[in-house]
Amino acid sequence: MLLSIGMLMLSATQVYTILTVQLFAFLNLLPVEADILAYNFENASQTFDDLPARFGYRLPAEGLKGFLINSKPENACEPIVPPPLKDNSSGTFIVLIRRLDCNFDVKVLNAQRAGYKAAIVHNVDSDDLISMGSNDIDVLKKIDIPSVFIGESSANSLKDEFTYEKGGHIILVPEFSLPLEYYLIPFLIIVGICLILIVIFMVGKLMLNVFLKIIWMVLKNIVLSKRSLI
């Protein structure tokens, strides 16, 4: 009986643990959400459409303000030039990277390793937006900066007027949306309660079966004892 109860509780615990790990892994893979708000040296602003990557961390609620730098090399398929120092102190820099030649995750990881706080990857010969993904779990685990994808026209406008060299700056502003955690946490609680109830029900059923078996054995012994006296 104790062995059966132990195995039952272990199985329920394993199911809950696996489910929890998978859900939080899914949360970690949620795409960052952002719009690009750019300011030139005259403080004139322009907004650019983008599409968030399916990897990387979320943007802070207040957005991420930084100076835009063109990647060198442009495709960021190998280690890139780190951002400059601003006023003898480290500033927040965001790198603009050209698409193609290697995977998106490699580009963003190289940007992160160079010291950039976010990456913007732009399309080539197209303004189509692509949701950047990653199939390399090892690389994926190392990426902890946000990244977004933009069209070529947006990239050209950013290069012409809003880069650090041109006196501009940009802000990656997260879109307003309820975090998925608000839905998943109650779900996890309900799943946990259900698993506990299942364990209680199964343990109660096992104990009832054992109790009935004991009663049956006692009654059987009583009947046999009476027969032996006749």
Output the pLDDT for position 176.
56
Say if residue 175 is in the same domain as residue 198. no
Q: Which domain holds residue 193?
A: 2-23+182-229
Annotate 74-105 with DSSP letters as a single string. TT-SS--PPPPPBTTB---EEEEEE--SS-HH
Say if residue 219 is in the same domain as residue 158. no
Output the pLDDT for position 142.
92
We report the CATH number of the domain holding residue 51 as 3.50.30.30
The type of residue at 118 is: A
Mean pLDDT, to the nearest integer, of 103-124?
95
Say if residue 108 is in the same domain as residue 202. no
> What pLDDT band is residue 3 in, cutting at 50, 70 and 90?
very low
Say if residue 119 is in the same domain as residue 143. yes
pTM for this prediction: 0.61
Mean pLDDT, to the nearest integer, of 120-132?
93
Quick one: DSSP state of residue 30? P
**How many folded domains does the chain comprise?**
2
Contact in structure between 97 and 111 (CB atoms under 8 Å) = yes
- Tell me the per-residue pLDDT of 11-30, one tens digit each, with 9 for 90 and over: 555 555 555 545 544 444 44
Contact in structure between 52 and 33 (CB atoms under 8 Å) = yes
Output the pLDDT for position 227.
61
pLDDT at 90 over 70: no
pLDDT at 88 over 50: no
Return mean pLDDT, the chain. 80
- Tell me the per-residue pLDDT of 18-70, one tens digit each, with 9 for 90 and over: 555 455 444 444 444 458 889 998 888 899 988 888 888 877 878 889 999 99
- Provide, rounded to the nearest whole percent, the portion of the chain with pLDDT above 70: 75
Say if residue 58 is in the same domain as residue 159. yes
Output the pLDDT for position 57.
83
Say if residue 51 is in the same domain as residue 125. yes
Say if residue 175 is in the same domain as residue 207. no
Mean pLDDT, to the nearest integer, of 161-166?
92
Say if residue 15 is in the same domain as residue 103. no
Output the pLDDT for position 80.
95
Say if residue 95 is in the same domain as residue 8. no
- Provide, rounded to the nearest whole percent, the portion of the chain with pLDDT above 90: 38
> What pLDDT band is residue 168 in, cutting at 50, 70 and 90?
very high
Burial class for 128, CB neighbours closer than 10 Å (0-12, 13-18, 19+) = exposed
Contact in structure between 121 and 52 (CB atoms under 8 Å) = no
Say if residue 198 is in the same domain as residue 165. no
- Tell me the per-residue pLDDT of 133-155, one tens digit each, with 9 for 90 and over: 888 888 888 999 999 999 999 99
> What pLDDT band is residue 8 in, cutting at 50, 70 and 90?
very low
Say if residue 77 is in the same domain as residue 167. yes
Say if residue 53 is in the same domain as residue 158. yes
